[in-house]
Structure 1
């Protein structure tokens, strides 16, 4: 498991979350990204299930800022000691993850679920603030359980890691196959699976050689 996870995360010991002998499987930033993505997808599934459009402009800008901040945070942390902590790495990753969910989920729904006339967006700015607050409270509650909470975060992070790769690969495959017009054809489903496996294989090879 750890050797596979090392393909997507450096797992540096000093960046690992730990509590009473329990360790995060990924670094603090990756744990934040993937657990945030996992919770974001769950939230959208239950409250914005039919969302096939990206969020509005202001929401997209704010979500884009969270993603951008996560990218530049390592640089900022190297220059400002106050920003150099695993908790802030986790927080930056977490808000990046829930922001990514706002863009990945509508893409997936648009390819596999949406019907003509389905113009539901992933939410407006007020809903995005509500979405961030609710998920942040959920994570704080998880942290309150300490070792059990860290184990829950590990589960969420692994689910998010698998989810983001599967959703992006499936969406790309669906676009290539024009899935909307072939969703009821068994042969098209088989081709979809083969394309997804092909994408996973290519990613594995690229990541393996990158290490």
Structure 2
């Protein structure tokens, strides 16, 4: 099944900004791949470390994680420089981490679970380790013939994009239900 047209809704898919694995370009560019993988793995790490929605988030910290992607994107848009895929991946990953923090915190507030100290603390260590490990694999697998890597990264991108879209829908539904029952 060709998923490129579907993923084009979420990404420009420019070949010069997309990782190439098994003689094929991945379904999303390096930055979008970083966003989706960053969101997916960071959300999992937050759940594993803190449990189900028990922490609040420092919103300024979460939004600060988006700043590197904005700087990278704007410097390219104004032709000040051309970014590399590994930079796009890292800045996208940090933005995905930001979305995971905010997503986690919003669900905590909506479900009104007891909240403890604010994030982040030591969860950044495993999150950064996952990012560096995946970036290493991506960089070393350029033009490789290992079909598993292509399927792995494409699957994570698709699953994370779907999870993110449905997550936003669920957040709106939870918020609507909470407002409806408590107003």
Give the TM-score normalised by the residue count of structure 2: 0.79
Which runs of no fewer than 5 residues in structure 2 stay unpaired? none
2:174 maps to 1:174: yes
Match of 1:119 in 2: 115
Q: What is the distance in 1 between the residues matched to 2:117 and 2:138? A: 31
In the alignment, is the contact (CA less than 8 A) between 2:14 and 2:29 conserved in 1?
Answer: yes
Q: Of 127, 133, 141, which residue of structure 2 is paired with 1:132?
A: 127
SS of equivalent residue, structure 2 residue 26: strand
Report if the CA contact (8 A) 1:142-1:152 is conserved. no
Q: Please give the residue correspondences for 1:148-167 in structure 2 after superposition, counting only pairs within 5 Å.
A: 148-167=148-167
Tell me which residue corresponds to 1:23.
Answer: 25
CA distance in 2, matches of 1:152, 1:122: 33
Deviates more, 1:129-138 or 1:170-179: 129-138
Cα-to-partner distance string for 1:82-140 (whole Å, 9 max, x where unaligned)? xx21221111101110121011122124334x44xx1135623x425324322224424
**Equivalent residue for 2:81?**
80
Structure 2 distance, partners of 1:111, 1:142, is 37
Higher relative contact order (CA 8 A, sep 6+): 2
Measure the CA separation in 1 of the matches of 2:48 and 2:123. 15
Matched residue of 2:56: which SS? coil
RMSD: 2.6
Q: How many residues align?
A: 173
For structure 1, the residue ranges without an aligned partner over 5 or more in a row are: 183-211
Equivalent pair of 1:106/1:122 in contact (CA under 8 Å): no
Match of 1:93 in 2: 92
* Alpha-carbon contact 1:66-1:95 (below 8 Å) kept: yes
Cα contact 2:66–2:94 (8 A) shared by 1: yes
Residue equivalent to 2:14: 12
Corresponding residue number in structure 2 for 1:71 = 70
- Other-structure match for 1:208: none
Which TM-score applies when normalising by structure 1?
Answer: 0.70
Question: Which structure shows the bigger proportion of residues in helix conformation?
Answer: 1
Query: Partner of 2:173: helix, strand, or coil?
Result: helix
